[in-house]
Copies of this chain bind each other. A is one copy, B any other.
């Protein structure tokens, strides 16, 4: 399923015009990204939380060049599904 499929389905079932649905979803994704980029988690009751996780520094190896690379500590976006979501999928 893609964004276009979702926009169509939302518009069909709610009667809200496609352009507004698309604009809302685009803005939603932008806000979630911006929020996490500023280290602020997003909590969506009944769906889940978008959170920032920290990955510690680690060393990796480039085997073909026989060198060691240090990957510095960095942050990654993650999603923690709500219990109801887990139950739906299980």
Task: List the interface of chain A (C-beta within 8 A of B).
Answer: 1-3, 6, 9-10, 13-14, 16, 20-21, 23-25, 27-29, 31-37, 40-48, 50, 52, 74-79, 81, 84-86, 88-90
A28 touches B27 (CB 8 A): no
- List 6 contacting pairs A-B, 8 Å CB cutoff, sorted by A: A9-B27, A14-B27, A16-B24, A36-B85, A77-B81, A79-B79
- Cα-based distance from A78 to B2 in the complex (angstroms): 16
Q: How many copies does the complex hold?
A: 2
Taking chain A's interface residues, is the majority helix, strand, or loop, or is none over half, making it mixed? Answer: helix
B29 touches A46 (CB 8 A): yes
Q: Which of A21, A34, A41 gathers the greatest number of chain B CB atoms within 10 Å?
A: A21
